[in-house]
Amino acid sequence: MEPDYIKAARECAGKLRELASDVDREGTYPHESMKIVRESGLLAAVAPESMGGHDLGLKGDMWGLYRVIDILASGCSSTAQIITVHYAAMGVVKAIGSDAQMAKFADASTKGETFCFLGSEPSQRFTDTGGRIKYDSTADRVKDGWSVNARKFFATGSVGCKYMMLFTMADGAEDMTGLMTPVVDVDSDGVEVVDSWDGIGQRATTSGSCSFNDVFVPDDMVIGDPGAFLKPGTIGQMFQLAFASHFVGLGQGALDFTIDYLKNKARPPHGFERAIDEPHVAHLIGDMSVKIEAGRALVRRAADALSAVERGDASPGEASCAVYQAKCHASQVSVEMGSQIFRLCGGQSASAKFNADRFWRNARTITLHDNLDRQLTATGRMVLGIADLASTTR
């Protein structure tokens, strides 16, 4: 029997699917789609059951979290990305925050309030393995709290969020041991949200930019001590795997669209009653399904590895390798599925009225989250036994 949260995710995805094409065309924050998710009760899914959630992700049902993301992404990729970012922030609170902080944000989630998680910066640079050395954003000690100054971009969901979790550097920090994760109320003085997102895909994620000018953050809105984010060994990998599950769901959405088109819109060739009766159609649909299910299996394997790290039964490096293998495979598959639509459905499916290209555009855009070749190289070095992949995640 499926858990209630999976049933809720499937019902939610069905409703999101009906809106997904319009959401893409409009390219603005998907208020109606987010309302569907809020009413499903899934915003609080990461919170402990005692606080109104389903205890998904860290310190709970790891695989359950990725099943929900996968299902939601099959319905609407843009909406799912906003939810995934919210889940990531809630996961940080769960991992290194206090019980009082978890209760506060669990209550906010049950009321429909969401997080935006801000890491990326316009001036950011990475190591050759994809890691960050430090951030330009700062948090300076002041009376009863901190003064935050930052400029962030790729601010997914920032237009409709209530809270923003930031990566900043503590006073005088020279490396990532001084990493802090303050939470800012979007209505605080000094916060500016700029809806400048103009990507070819994921168009409704409102992943523009945000600036923070001497924004006061009280002590009780800082999650963990400086450097605490890096210590659990699973938070960064959890975020990476969330993308992998999203890619799998996006590919599933492309497959679902293809099957529906072939059954209900495509004209069969002479000699066949239905388009799906052509032998090559079954062959290519089979190929798509195998690749998607392989991605899903890799995500589950990685989720199990992260749970094993939490239990002390596996090393962070082993889990990181499994996460990167899942993410690299799912990245390539999601883009491929967006192209296969047209190979199977033919020229008429390229009509703008079907908006079928959104699957490829969404996949091509969101899979740029990280440099795939760097992650493949890092994975290969781990498999070869010449590097510890645990140091490459962030």
Residue 317, classed as helix, strand or coil, is helix
Q: Give pLDDT, residue 322.
A: 96
- Which residue type sits at 318? E
Burial 179-212 (b: 16+ CB within 10 A, else e): bbbbbbebeeeebebeeebebebbbbbbbbbbbb
pLDDT tens profile 269-308: 888 889 998 889 999 999 999 999 999 999 999 999 999 9
Tokens of 168: 């900043």
Residues 6+ apart with CB under 8 A from 73: 80, 81, 84, 245, 246, 247, 248, 249, 250, 252, 253
Provide DSSP, 177-217.
GGEE-BEEETTSTTEEEE-----SSSTTS--EEEEEEEEEE
Q: What is the Cα–Cα distance from 360 to 380, expressed in whole angstroms?
A: 27
What's the distance, CA 223 to chain centroid?
Answer: 20
Taking 70 as the pLDDT cut, the residues of the chain under it are: 125-133, 388-394
Q: Are strands 138-142 and 168-170 parallel, antiparallel or unpaired?
A: parallel
Alpha-carbon torsion, ordered 214, 130, 199, 364, to 10 deg: -160
Residue 211, sorted as left (phi over 0), alpha (psi -120 to 50) or beta, turns out to be beta
Q: Give pLDDT, residue 131.
A: 65
pLDDT tens profile 43-81: 999 999 999 999 999 999 999 999 999 999 999 999 999
Q: Give pLDDT, residue 122.
A: 83
Q: What is the Cα–Cα distance from 41 to 92, expressed in whole angstroms?
A: 20
Q: Give pLDDT, residue 392.
A: 45
pTM of the complete model:
0.95
Q: What is the Cα–Cα distance from 19 to 16, expressed in whole angstroms?
A: 5
Please name which of 342, 337, 345, 343 lies closest in space to residue 364, comparing C-alpha atoms: 337
Find out whether 254 and 337 touch, Cβ atoms under 8 Å. Answer: yes
Radius of gyration of the chain measured on its C-alpha atoms:
21
